[in-house]
Chain A
Amino acid sequence: MVENRPWLTFLSHAVLIFGAVVVAFPLYVTFIASTLSFEQISQVPMQLWPGGHFVENYRQVLSAGTTQGSKAAVGTMLFNSFVMASSIAIGKIAISIIASFAIVYFRFPLRNFFFWMIFVTLMLPVEVRIIPTFKVASDLGLLDSYVGLTLPLIASATATFLFRQFFLTIPEELAEASRIDGAGPMRFFFDVVLPLSKTSIAALFVIQFIYGWNQYLWPLLVTGQESMYTIVIGIKRMIVGGDAANEWHLVMATAMLAMLPPAVVVILMQKWFVKGLVETEK
């Protein structure tokens, strides 16, 4: 603080509180809606204090979905989302850490070519090549499987870059000492590089877990059976009719369940989340 300006400090707090309230309002409405009965939620205006159907609604969606629309159990969807998000995060980290290790610690023909090949994929979001990618997945028989959900999203230029940046800051002396002591490249990788990369891995895991959990278009295309739905797809499938006909109380309970795991990850691992976000994008 350069100088004391009480009025400006007051204004700052006022703006921040207002901002936080506006940002939180949709969450509050969602939570309230998830505790109401169908009759309560159909009333205009909807009440803004919790109703008494919290346990009932959550039990219903977790075991049997909605009663009118999709009857897929949200419990299964949560499991699918969890498998998908963790596999994408772990897979991305695993394949890109060894790829960047090869690029940084070896000299070999076509090294730059491979580097650029990975670099170019930074520019191609899955949305622009939806249909051909879908065809490839379907030709390989990957539809309605966990492999199909995760494998196509696992190649990540950002993770490769982050690790490359990080490896370049590891002191030369460490590699030198390892070589003098007779350690091979893989020994060096497991005993020196991997332990040093812990924080980068944690940061990346948070970002990629959220990325995986929130995927929408790809699971929408690859999953046909209800048993393979992820929760984000499941919500969309619950919205069937006109806006008053939907069982909004159940949809909102599902929305709460869909938001909870990634939000908990962001809040509990805030330090790593911020680190991962700022570093992967720079």
Chain B
Amino acid sequence: MEKRVVFRSAWLPYLLLAPQIAVTIVFFFWPAAQAVWYSFLLQDAFGSSTQFVWFENYQSLLTDSHYYDAFKVTALFSVLVAGLGILLSLVLAVMADRVVRGALAYKTLLIWPYAVAAAVAGVLWGFMFAPSIGIVTYVLKGMGIDWDWLIKGDQAMLLVVMAAVWKQISYNFLFFLAGLQSVPRSLIEAAAIDGAGPARRFRDIVFPLLSPTTFFLLVVNIVYAFFDTFGIIDATTQGGPAGATQLLVYKVYYDGVKAADLGGSSAQSVILMFIVIALTVIQFRFVEKKVNY
């Protein structure tokens, strides 16, 4: 869509675009280009000499079993976060769409975790599940479950998944609720007259009509799990125990900042950038076509 009526000026549009473009070049394109450049370099331990090594950093990543582990951990984490988050918020949204009384109150009670920073969410959940003094740990111990996420990898994973899902439910919930409210009432009524019960109506009418929303949320949740959960990891497990919760983005940070491996970290950045670009392209492809029946 284009405007028919436009203004004419040889310099004004450039001036208006200048701040945005300047920030974009200095803080997006230049660093991204640098990341690609660094990924071909190898620095010695003291940072005094640098060598151009072509794809050596990538080769050593591809032969590094820790890197594969981080890939697997990230895949598991994002499947759990996206799957659980979408499922739980769909249930809540369907229920909230049904009730007449108190709908606004429920909405308010369910959306506020969106405002909580990932790192703070990590601190909260880490505290409730703290191995020695956590209140939930106490309950779990009473049930005979030995809970210590500082030692047990699967429990650490469970903890960060719970914190991440908790933070993301409000977002998914709002999108599902908006989607549910745009389902035409006449369709539902027609199905009801034909004798379809609530479950049947959900399966054959509502859920198919929600599929664009669901797909959109799937991609957004995967991106969220990949990148925005950095704070949760850093505030709780810091990738441990023994790499059980080391996500790709955490490894980029750890290798680059803590271990000062510039080339290796940059190569990981470049790989992550490709993953993000692929996800965005998929997103736009499907949004254009509309996943619908």
A residues engaging B (CB < 8 A)?
1-3, 5, 8-9, 11-13, 15-16, 19-20, 23-27, 29-30, 33, 41-42, 44-46, 48, 94-96, 98-99, 101-108, 111, 114, 117-118, 120-125, 127-133, 135-137, 140, 151-152, 154-155, 160, 168, 172, 175-176, 179, 184-186, 188, 210, 213-217, 220-221, 232-233, 235-236, 239, 242-244, 248, 251-252, 255, 258-259, 262-263, 265-267, 270, 273-274, 277-278, 281
B residues adjacent to A (C-beta < 8 A)? 1, 3-10, 12-14, 16-17, 19-21, 23-24, 26-32, 34-35, 38, 88, 91-92, 95-96, 98-100, 102, 106-121, 123-128, 130-135, 138-139, 150, 166, 169-171, 174-175, 178, 185, 188-189, 192, 198, 216, 220, 223, 227-228, 230-231, 234-235, 249, 252-253, 256-257, 262, 265-266, 269, 272-273, 276-277, 280
B114 A2 Cβ-Cβ under 8 A: no
Out of A107, A186, A243, A266, which one reaches B133, CB within 8 Å? Answer: A243
Report the Cα distance A220→B150, complex, angstroms.
23
A-B contact pairs, 19 of them (CB 8 A): A8-B198, A19-B110, A26-B128, A27-B124, A29-B127, A29-B128, A42-B133, A106-B12, A108-B14, A130-B253, A136-B34, A155-B20, A155-B27, A216-B118, A232-B231, A255-B120, A263-B112, A263-B115, A266-B111
User: In the complex, A184→B235 CA distance in Å?
Assistant: 53
Contact A124 B20, beta carbon cutoff 8 Å: no
Closest Cβ–Cβ distance, residue B6 to chain A (whole Å): 5
B119 and A131 contacting across the interface, CB-CB below 8 Å: no
Contact across chains for B125 and A2 when beta carbons are under 8 A apart? no
Q: Which of B23, B133, B166, B170 contacts A26 (CB 8 A)?
A: B166
Verify B227–A128 contact, CB threshold 8 A: yes
Q: Is the interface of B mostly helix, strand, loop or mixed?
A: helix
Nearest CB of chain A from residue B38's CB, rounded to whole Å: 7
Q: In the complex, A152 Cα to B112 Cα: how many Å?
A: 27
A235 proximity list for chain B (CB < 8 A): 119-120, 123, 235
A274 to B79, CA, bound (A): 26
Question: Which chain B residue shows the least CB distance to A217?
Answer: B230
